């Protein structure tokens, strides 16, 4: 099958590289017909016919033909607002998270079409966009902000000092994690923070996953700053608190034990009859995974979002929860009967309650899985085998099953003693450096980037597994991880550093002047996409800055933005071909913006979430 990929440079290149890895074809070079930052790439993949897969900047948003860019998309989607919550001002994310995510989403669509074509279905065209990818990354924050009935819930007030990462007396930055409040208290008392308000600090620390904010009483960073890192590491180990250093990109590049950016997919069980040969797509075909059954036993974000994406592609998903339901249902504010956080990732799934700690509950799960195409879990290391629910066990019951294990660290044995969660993985993977410009501490983002990309990697692995089952007749085991998600987000950064071809970066860090950050206007902030001297000079001319070249000229241009309002700058700059976006300062207002309404959907419980990010055509 001829696959024609098109889209912005990084987004299209991400999809082409990932698909080349799955299909065994060489990653193609751009066509001669590329225009500006838009690329067209052609791959030959298994199957008949032709598939056009495209990425636009804005998708179905009502933004006309305005130029697009990563910074503008981060601004409009609310990502800059969420990333800057701790400081109270919007902040740009140094990694091109929306562009990369859109490339992964397009990879999903193509793999889903390969599966559909083995079943006599499929479409000839699919599209997603960078802005839709950004909305997906911000979806749970939008859900929390748009709950219709917030009751008497209010977020905890900020404390006086920064939260993690912390800095030791010898100048080393580190992240910590524990799910146990008693372990948290023991650790900080060991560092001499015994008189601090432990209850307030724990509340802020725990809620950072839901609120993207974590400030703490000053006693905590002060206690960390009185000790060498070696002593802090010893205190963490003694009190069962996970700790990792915040690494730079160069340290990550030198680490030979890092996982690939994709899931690992390997055959299991015995060979079964394969599906019929691929056929051209039928007119008016349904969603590509219609008829696929998924059983999901997951918690938090990584697993539930992976299941949600499979559901958006047409699969029927049965969600297994403990007796009494998933505790995340109780996280306020509420969208109907459930907390917004749960609703954002589990809407539309069929839920069943099973006690997997009992033999009877495990037998019921086995019965469910026997009739399914995909089983997805994110249990802790070793639990599946302990319960007799490992890949080999299930392959005996369901030989054509795609078995997906979503973990934190993957096969990194050295880190398996650590809790495999968002902020530890960001720190260990060097994302704090890739996200943060030179001259600032390499701080990981409070945005749950790794959980989301870990989910996308798990979904991609499930789709690749389904395709291999259909074409080989053998069940597949898929190992996906948060670490693989982190590597996906920064693959282009590490490649540039490795090949000595960094683009607007130095040692993996973004190199920004005053114009690459959110710009304060008379009534808010805007973000513009300018790269290199030519773009910068053009912007300076447009805004009437005459202070000369270099940083002084850029500062003069930035100062001019305070003279007009956001909408005036948007109209002027986009009309002149400069990608520009107003920074969303209140996520609750996104559904009321008629330009962006098509990218959101309202749930029955009264909150808004990102809509399905794919559009199909026969």
Q: 3-56: per-residue pLDDT in tens?
A: 999 999 999 999 999 999 999 887 665 543 333 467 888 888 888 889 999 999
Helices (H), 499-549: 532-543
- The backbone torsions φ and ψ at residue 581, rounded to the nearest 5 degrees and listed phi first, read -145, 140
Asked if 592 and 586 touch (Cβ cutoff 8 Å), the reply is: no
Asked if 401 and 475 touch (Cβ cutoff 8 Å), the reply is: yes
Predicted local confidence at residue 603, as pLDDT: 95
Q: What is the CA radius of gyration of the chain?
A: 24
Q: Which of 4, 41, 44, 40 is nearest to 24 (CA)?
A: 44
> 449-472 and 482-489 helices cross at what angle (nearest 10)?
100
Label residue 174 left, alpha or beta by phi (over 0 means left) and psi (-120 to 50 means alpha): beta
Structural element, H or E, at residue 614: none
Residue 155 predicted with pLDDT over 70? no
Name beta bridge partners: 129. Answer: 56
End-to-end CA distance of the chain: 16
Predicted local confidence at residue 286, as pLDDT: 85
pLDDT tens digits along 357-382: 999 999 999 999 999 999 999 999 89
pLDDT tens digits along 449-493: 999 999 999 999 999 999 999 999 999 999 999 999 999 999 999
How far CA 382 is from CA of 379, 390, 407, 416, in Å, comes to 8, 9, 11, 10
Name beta bridge partners: 377. Answer: 297, 405
Predicted local confidence at residue 281, as pLDDT: 44
How far CA 33 is from CA of 36, 41, 73, 359, in Å, comes to 10, 10, 25, 61
Tell me, what DSSP letter sits at residue 572? H
Predicted local confidence at residue 154, as pLDDT: 65
Asked if 187 and 220 touch (Cβ cutoff 8 Å), the reply is: no
Residue 313 predicted with pLDDT over 60? yes
- State the average pLDDT for the chain: 92
Asked if 2 and 42 touch (Cβ cutoff 8 Å), the reply is: yes
DSSP string, 151-191: TT--PPPP-SEE-SSEE-TTS-EEEEE-S-HHHHHHHHHHT
pTM of the shown model: 0.96
């Amino acid at each position: 099958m001829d696959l024609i990929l098109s889209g912005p440079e990084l987004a299209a290149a991400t999809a082409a590289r990932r698909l080349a890895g799955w299909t065994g074809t060489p990653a193609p070079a751009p066509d001669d017909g590329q225009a500006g930052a838009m690329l067209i790439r052609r791959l030959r993949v298994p199957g008949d016919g032709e598939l056009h897969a495209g990425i636009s900047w804005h998708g179905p948003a009502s933004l006309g033909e305005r130029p697009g860019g990563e910074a503008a998309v981060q601004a409009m989607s609310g990502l800059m607002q969420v990333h800057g919550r701790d400081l109270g001002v919007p902040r740009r994310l140094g990694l091109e998270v929306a562009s990369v995510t859109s490339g992964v989403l397009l990879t999903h669509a193509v793999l889903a079409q390969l599966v559909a074509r083995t079943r006599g279905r499929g479409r000839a065209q699919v599209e997603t966009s960078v802005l839709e990818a950004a909305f997906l990354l911000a979806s749970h924050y939008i859900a929390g902000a748009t709950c219709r009935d917030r009751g008497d819930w209010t977020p905890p007030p900020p404390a006086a000092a920064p939260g993690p990462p912390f800095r030791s007396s010898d100048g080393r930055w580190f992240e910590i994690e524990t799910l146990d409040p008693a372990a948290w208290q023991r650790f900080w008392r060991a560092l001499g923070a015994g008189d601090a308000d432990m209850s307030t600090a724990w509340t802020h620390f725990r809620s950072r996953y839901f609120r993207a904010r974590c400030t703490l009483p000053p006693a905590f960073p002060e206690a960390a700053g009185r000790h060498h890192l070696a002593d802090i590491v010893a205190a963490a180990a003694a009190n069962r608190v996970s700790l990792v250093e915040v690494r730079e990109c160069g340290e990550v590049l030198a680490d030979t034990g890092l996982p690939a950016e994709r899931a690992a997919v390997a055959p299991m069980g015995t060979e079964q009859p394969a599906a019929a040969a691929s056929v051209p797509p039928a007119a008016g075909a349904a969603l590509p995974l219609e008829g696929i059954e998924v059983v999901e036993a997951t918690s938090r974000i990584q697993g539930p979002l992976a299941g949600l994406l499979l559901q958006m592609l047409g699969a029927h998903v049965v969600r297994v929860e403990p007796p009494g339901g998933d505790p995340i249902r109780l996280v306020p504010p509420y969208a109907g009967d459930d907390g917004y956080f749960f609703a954002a990732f589990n809407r539309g799934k069929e839920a069943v309650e099973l006690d997997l700690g009992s033999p009877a509950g495990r037998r019921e799960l086995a019965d469910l899985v026997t009739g399914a195409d995909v089983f997805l879990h994110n249990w802790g290391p070793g639990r599946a085998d302990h319960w007799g629910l490992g890949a080999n066990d299930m392959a005996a019951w369901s030989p054509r099953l795609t078995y997906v294990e979503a973990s934190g660290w993957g096969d990194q044995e050295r880190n398996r003693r650590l809790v495999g969660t968002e902020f530890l993985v960001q720190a260990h993977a060097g994302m704090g450096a890739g996200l943060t410009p030179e001259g600032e501490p390499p701080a990981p983002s409070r945005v749950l980037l790794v959980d989301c990309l870990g989910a996308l990697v798990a979904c991609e692995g499930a789709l690749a597994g389904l395709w291999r089952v259909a074409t080989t007749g053998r069940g597949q085991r898929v190992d996906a991880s948060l670490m693989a998600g982190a590597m996906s987000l920064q693959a282009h950064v590490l490649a540039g550093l490795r090949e000595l071809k960094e683009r607007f970066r130095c040692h993996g860090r973004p190199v920004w002047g005053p114009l690459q950050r959110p710009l304060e206007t008379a009534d808010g902030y805007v973000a513009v996409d300018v790269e290199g001297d030519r773009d910068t000079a053009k912007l300076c001319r447009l805004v009437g800055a005459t202070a000369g070249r270099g940083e002084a000229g850029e500062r003069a241009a930035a100062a001019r933005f305070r003279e007009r309002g956001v909408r005036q700058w948007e109209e002027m700059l986009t009309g002149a071909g400069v990608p520009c976006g107003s920074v969303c300062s209140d996520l609750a207002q996104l559904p009321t913006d008629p330009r962006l309404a098509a990218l959101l959907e309202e749930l029955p419980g009264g909150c808004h979430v990102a809509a399905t990010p794919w559009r199909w055509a026969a």
